[in-house]
Structure 1
Amino acid sequence: MRQTVRYADGTYTARGWYGSLPSSITVTVTLARGVITRASVQTHATNPTSLDLQRRFAAAVPRVVVGRPIGEVRVGRLAGSSGTPVGFNDALEKIKEQASN
C-alpha cells in the first residue's frame, strides 16, 4: 500500500551540495497543498564559470518546478548545468523533510 506524504504549507529553505570542490546553492520554495508555488535559488560560486552556470540554472528552475507537486520534482540537466541540479535536488530533499515534519 502506497503511503501519501503530506507537506505543510509554508516557505522552506535549504542548502544543497554537489561536486567535488564541493559547491553549493541555497534553495527556497513556497508550498501550498504540496505544490510548489514559488522557487528561487541563491548562488554561492566565486569562480566566474561556475557562477555563470549557477545563475543560468537559477533563472531557469522556476519555469520547470512551479506548479508541480514537490514529491514529483527531480531536476536534471538544465540551462547547460549538469552539476547544479544535483545541489538543487539535495536541497529539495531537505525541504521535503522539513515540510513533512
Structure 2
Amino acid sequence: MNFYRVGLGVLTATLSFGALAENGGDRTFALMMERNEKAMAAYAEKQGKPAPQVQVYRYGMDLDIAKVVSVTPPIRACKAVPSRMTYEDSSGSLNTLEYQVMGVCRNNGG
C-alpha cells in the first residue's frame, strides 16, 4: 500500500514538473489537468474504484474530505490559475475538485 502511495506521489510530481517545462499559458494548464486526470484514473483503477468526475468548486460547498490523494501544484503565472485536489470522502468514494489558486509570481521590479 505504501509503495503505491510513494509511486503515485513520484508520478504526480514528475508529471507536474513536466507541465511546468512546457511553453506556458493555457496549454500548460490543459496539459497539467489532462495528466492529473489520467493519473487519478489509474489510481482509481488500482484501488478498484470508479474514476472521479471533476467538479468545479463553488463557494460554500459542503465538502466531506477524509483523505487527500493528490493536489496539483500552482504554476508560474502572475494571476489566478486552476488547481485540482483529488480526495476520498468518508464513504471511500473518490472526488476531484477544481478551484483557483494564485500562481507562483516572481516580480522582477523594485
With normalisation by structure 2, the TM-score equals: 0.29
Which of structures 1 and 2 has the bigger CA Rg? 2
Higher strand share: 1
With normalisation by structure 1, the TM-score equals: 0.31
Q: Which has the higher contact order (CA 8 A, sep 6+)?
A: 1
